[in-house]
């Protein structure tokens, strides 16, 4: 609950500061194709929501898992260090695989964000053609 509240407040501040920084840019900044109105709107929405996902409940779950794993490791060492090593060795393999999966998904998300920015800028240009 607390992590979700702090994550939403953080997202609100980030959106406000990012938008205020965009308003202070020179006109030439918006003439560049990667800074069209569609791509800027997409970036504002996707960046802030990514941070909200990371800083919200996900951070709370990660903290809880780390605390419980640390306590289980310490308790396991007190009871039987051989059994603790047998149990925690596969956990290291799972952590490595999870890390590689996160890196792979981050690359895919980065590529899809680029494609969405391109598509939104093209659609806005198409709409502006008919308004002239």
Q: Which residues contact residue 103 at a Cβ distance below 8 angstroms, ignoring those fewer than 6 apart? A: none
**Main-chain dihedrals φ then ψ at residue 11, nearest 5 degrees:** -65, -40
Tell me the pLDDT tens digit for each residue of 6-59. Answer: 777 888 888 888 888 888 888 888 888 777 777 787 777 777 777 777 777 778
pTM over 0.85: no
DSSP structural state of residue 32: S
Check residue 15 and give its pLDDT. 83
């Amino acid at each position: 609950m607390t992590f979700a509240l702090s994550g939403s407040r953080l997202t609100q501040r980030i959106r406000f500061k990012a938008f205020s920084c965009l308003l202070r840019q020179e006109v030439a900044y918006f003439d560049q194709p990667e800074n069209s109105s569609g791509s800027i709107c997409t970036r504002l929405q996707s960046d802030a929501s990514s941070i909200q996902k990371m800083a919200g409940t996900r951070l709370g779950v990660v903290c809880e898992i780390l605390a419980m794993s640390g306590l289980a490791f310490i308790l396991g060492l007190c009871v039987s260090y051989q059994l603790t090593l047998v149990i925690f060795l596969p956990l290291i393999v799972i952590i490595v695989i999870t890390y590689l999966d996160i890196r792979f998904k981050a690359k895919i998300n980065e590529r899809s964000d680029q494609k969405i920015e391109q598509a939104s800028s093209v659609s806005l240009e198409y709409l502006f053609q008919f308004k002239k």
